[in-house]
Copies of this chain bind each other. A is one copy, B any other.
């Protein structure tokens, strides 16, 4: 099986999407960050008070997702029609779960946008909590589902 991002001489390239259909596309990605109880409680407390860590991280994640084409060398620029980020607080594991949904009407999928949105949002949580816990761990980041384009609506096995 061959990688599509190289020409026959081995030069990296942006795949040509001109022949692909313009369809409505959607992708959802998920990731998480695990931290000490002290850090977790500081974030959770902020969630109900003024000065919310997760609002800053949501803003950063959405702005980061819009920069996907600029960060990932072979990504196409896409007319993003919607971006949203959702959070779940998992107190049992001192873990914060982040989910990013991206939508576009274009010729190529928005998986990278959703994954980049999650990554930047989690890095922002990390940055804002690292004075409390310098050893946090950003956990598995992966695609949950994907809609539009040739492969249609596909959902991650086990979800």
Nearest-CB distance from A55 to chain B (Å)? 4
> How far is it, in angstroms, between the C-alpha of A46 and the C-alpha of B3 when the chains are bound?
9
Q: Which of B59, B116, B137 contacts A56 (CB 8 A)?
A: B59
| Chain B residues whose CB sits within 8 angstroms of the CB of A132 once the complex forms | 1, 3
A48: chain B residues at CB < 8 Å are 50
**A3 and B53 form a contact (CB under 8 A):** yes
Judge whether A74 and B127 touch: CB under 8 Å. yes
Cross-chain contact B135 with A156 (CB below 8 angstroms): yes
**Is A77 in contact with B74, judged by CB distance below 8 angstroms?**
no
Q: Does A28 contact B (CB under 8 A)?
A: no
Q: CB within 8 Å of B: which of A37-86?
A: 38-39, 42-43, 46-56, 58-60, 62-64, 66-67, 69-77, 79-86
26 A–B contacts from the bound complex (CB under 8 Å): A1-B42, A3-B53, A3-B131, A5-B56, A9-B86, A11-B51, A11-B55, A11-B84, A11-B87, A12-B56, A12-B62, A13-B85, A18-B105, A47-B50, A50-B52, A52-B52, A52-B55, A59-B59, A59-B60, A60-B72, A66-B70, A72-B124, A79-B79, A115-B138, A135-B143, A135-B157
